[in-house]
Amino acid sequence: MDESTLFMRFGVALAIGILVGMQREFAFDDKNRELAMGVRTLALMALLGCAAAFLSELAESPWLLIIIILILGSWIGMNHYIEAQRGEEGLTTEASALLTVLAGALAFWNQITLAVALGVITAVLLSVKPELHRFAQKLTREDVYATLKMAVITVIILPVLPQESFGPPPFDVLNPFKIWLLVIFISGISFVGFLLIKIAGARKGIGLTGLFGGLASSTAVTLSFTQKSKEAATLAKPFALAITVSWTVMYTRVVIEVAALNAGLAKMLIVPMAIPVAAGLACSLFLFRVQRTAETSDFVFSNPFELGPAITFGVVFSIILVISRAAQVYMGEAGIYLSSIFAGLADVDAIALSVTELTGKSGGIDYGTATRAILIAAVANTALKGAIVLVLGSASLRRAIIPGFVSMFLSGLIVALLI
C-alpha cells in the first residue's frame, strides 16, 4: 500500500470521528460542560480504530485489533458506570463511540463507502433523538404488533413460496412468490405514507394529509373527508384540496409501482399520466390559494401492515390477474380494457400491477395496450371517487371538487382514447 492511500484512509477515519464528535458536542445545551467523549475523543477513537486495523495487518493477526477494541470497550464501560452513578444512564454516546472505532477500522480496510455511511447514519440517529421519541410516542401497541406480524410472516413465508406458475392459461400467471412479493411492495408504499402521517401529523394541515394519505389510500382520504364535509361545511375548500392532492398522488404512485416491475412500460406511462397529474396540480394550487388556513382533528389511518388487508390485496390481485389474462386470451384488447374499467373501480394498484406483470412477455400484452389499460383503470378509479364526493359530500364540497374532478377525469379519458 502506498503512502498516499494510507493517509487517505486515515483521513477518512478522522473525518468520521470529527463528524460524530461534533454532533455530540452540540447535543448538550451546556457549552461549558467537559464531555467524556466529545469531538477530540471521538476523532482519536476513529484514528485508533484505523491504526489498530493497520497494526493487525502488519502483524498478520486479528488479535491485536480485538485486544484494542476490548480495552476500549472496558474503558467505555467504566465511563458509563461513573456516569450512571451520577444519574446519567444512557448508552447512546458509548454505543456511538464503539461504532466510530469500527468505522475507523473499516476505513483502513478500504470499505470507505460503508465506513462513511456508518458514520453519517450514526450522526443522523444521534441528531434526530427528539423526533424519534415523538414518533415512538405516537405509535400504538396495535401499530407495533401489526408491523411485527407482517414482518414475521414476510420473512418466513416469502423465501419458501414456489417461484413458478401452475396450470394452463389463464391460470399460468399465478406465481405465488411474485404475488406475495407484490403484496409486500404495495404494503411498503402504503407504510411510507402511514409513517409520514405519524411523523408530521394531520394537524400540520389538511392538504398535507391529502399528500401523505395519497401514498396510503386516496380512496380512504376521499371517504373520510367526504364524511367530514357534512360536519364542517366551512372547510369544504381545504377538504377538496386534500382529496384532489390524494388523487394526483395516486397517478404518480401508479407510475412508481409500474417502474419497479417494468421500466419500459413506466416510460410510456409518464407522459399520458402527466396530463391528469398536471390538471390535478393546477386545481390543487388554486384551492391552496383560495382556502382559509385550517386545521383538522387527526386523520386516522389503519396500519397498512395488518395481515388481513395484505392477504385481501393478494387475493384481489390474483383474481384480477387471472381475469386480465383470461380477457386477453379470449377477448383480446377489448377484454383487457373492459377488465381495467371494472378492476380499476375496486383497486387501481391491483389492475396496474396485473397488467404490468403480463406486459412484454411472449404471448402477453403489448406495451401500447398495457399503457392504455392502466390509464383507463386510473380514470375509472378517479370516476368512482368523484362519484363518492358528489353523492355523499356536502353541497359546498361538491362545488369545490367539481373543477378538479372534471379536469382530471376528462383529461385522463381523452388521453386514454387518443394514445
DSSP 248-314: HHHHHHHHHHHHHH-HHHHHHHHHHHHHHHHHHHHHHHHHHHHSPP---SPPP---TT-HHHHHHHH
Count of other CB atoms within 10 angstroms of residue 390: 14
User: Averaging pLDDT over each range in 69-73, 264-268, 314-318, 326-330, which range is the top one?
Assistant: 264-268
Report whether pLDDT(173) > 60. Answer: yes
Q: What are phi and psi of 351, to 5 degrees?
A: -70, -35
Cell of 309: 388487508
Cell of 92: 447512546
Q: Is 277 or 354 the better-scoring residue by pLDDT? A: 277
- Residue 265 pLDDT class (50, 70, 90 cuts): very high
- Residue 189 pLDDT class (50, 70, 90 cuts): low
- SS3 for 334-401, per residue? HHHHHHHHHHHHHCHHHHHHHHHHHECCCCCECHHHHHHHHHHHHHHHHHHHHHHHHHHCCHHHHHHH
Which single residue is written with the C-alpha cell 390485496?
313
Q: Let me know: does 25 contact 96? Beta carbons within 8 Å.
A: no
The tens digit of pLDDT for each residue in 140-157 reads 777 777 677 777 777 877
Cell of 142: 396495535
| pLDDT-wise least confident of 80-89, 303-312, 407-416 | 303-312
| pLDDT-wise least confident of 47-56, 89-98, 388-397 | 89-98
* Whole-number pLDDT of residue 413: 92
Number of H helices, E strands in the chain: 17, 0
Q: Let me know: does 239 contact 368? Beta carbons within 8 Å.
A: no
The tens digit of pLDDT for each residue in 275-286 reads 999 999 999 998
Q: What angle do CA 104, 107, 112 make, to 5 degrees?
A: 135
Q: What is the CA radius of gyration of the chain?
A: 27
Rounded to whole angstroms, the Cα distance separating 73 from 155 reads 34
Arithmetic mean of pLDDT, 340-347: 80
Q: Let me know: does 16 contact 103? Beta carbons within 8 Å.
A: yes
Report whether pLDDT(296) > 60. Answer: no
Rounded to whole angstroms, the Cα distance separating 351 from 347 reads 7
Please report, for residues 159, 175, 214, 327, the alpha-carbon distance to residue 187 in angstroms, rounded to integers and kept in the order given: 18, 18, 13, 27
Cell of 301: 389511518
Arithmetic mean of pLDDT, 382-411: 91
- Residue 295 pLDDT class (50, 70, 90 cuts): very low
* Whole-number pLDDT of residue 204: 52
Cell of 145: 404488533
| DSSP state at residue 203 | G
Region of 35 on the Ramachandran plot (φ > 0 left; ψ -120 to 50 alpha; else beta): beta
Which single residue is written with the C-alpha cell 377488465?
339
Rounded to whole angstroms, the Cα distance separating 406 from 403 reads 5
pLDDT > 90 in the chain, percent: 27
Rounded to whole angstroms, the Cα distance separating 256 from 258 reads 5
| DSSP state at residue 98 | H
Arithmetic mean of pLDDT, 249-254: 92
| pLDDT-wise least confident of 261-270, 314-323, 383-392 | 314-323
The tens digit of pLDDT for each residue in 39-64 reads 888 899 999 999 999 999 888 888 88
The mean pLDDT value of the chain amounts to 80
- Residue 65 pLDDT class (50, 70, 90 cuts): confident
Report whether pLDDT(391) > 80. Answer: yes
* Whole-number pLDDT of residue 297: 46
Count of other CB atoms within 10 angstroms of residue 413: 17
Residues contacting 385, CB < 8 A, separation 6+: 218, 219, 222, 243, 247
* Whole-number pLDDT of residue 268: 93
Rounded to whole angstroms, the Cα distance separating 201 from 209 reads 8
Dihedral sign (CA 158, 152, 91, 136): positive
The tens digit of pLDDT for each residue in 106-137 reads 999 999 999 999 999 988 888 877 777 776 77
Of 142, 172, 212, the closest CA to residue 329 belongs to: 172
